[in-house]
Amino acid sequence: MQCFCSRRSRRGGDEYIYWGLGVEQPFFFSSKFPIKSQTITISGSQTTHNGKWPVKYSIIKMNNFGTSIEYFDSVVYYGDYPEGKLHHTFYIPNGQNYQLEIFNFYHYHSAGKLRILQNNKEKKQYHSVL
């Protein structure tokens, strides 16, 4: 039986999401966050049981009952990515109540560590949105 777990941890001022997915729990949904500068960036690492297996990262909005999901943008990474090598910027309309969905396509085991970052154009820097 596969265990699903996620936790948040503050280290050095940045907030990470630690996630683990398996056959019985192939989805992870982050807390809701706003998008203010039409971009959101994920940065972190992932490992998979098989180096060829995919993990999909999507920016979504889900209704309050979880019965409807609207997808805005997605990216798929295959295999293992060490810290700093998994990095992608999504271009999304400004708004509230976005979430990050992580999906491992019902494979045996995938795990990772991510930050969700908002680009601050005036200061030319990133900050965590969670």
40-84 residue pLDDT tens: 999 999 999 998 899 999 999 998 887 899 999 999 999 999 998
Q: What is the CATH number of the domain that holds 76?
A: 2.60.120
What's the rounded Cα separation, in Å, for the pair 116 and 119?
Answer: 10
pLDDT in tens, 72-89: 999 999 999 999 899 999
Global pTM reads 0.85
Task: Find the helix or strand (DSSP H, E) in which 71 lies.
Answer: strand 69-78
Count: domains in the chain:
1
Structural domain boundaries enclosing 77: 5-128
- Buried b / exposed e along 25-56 (16+ C-beta atoms within 10 A): bbebbbeebebeeebbebbbbbbbeeeebebe
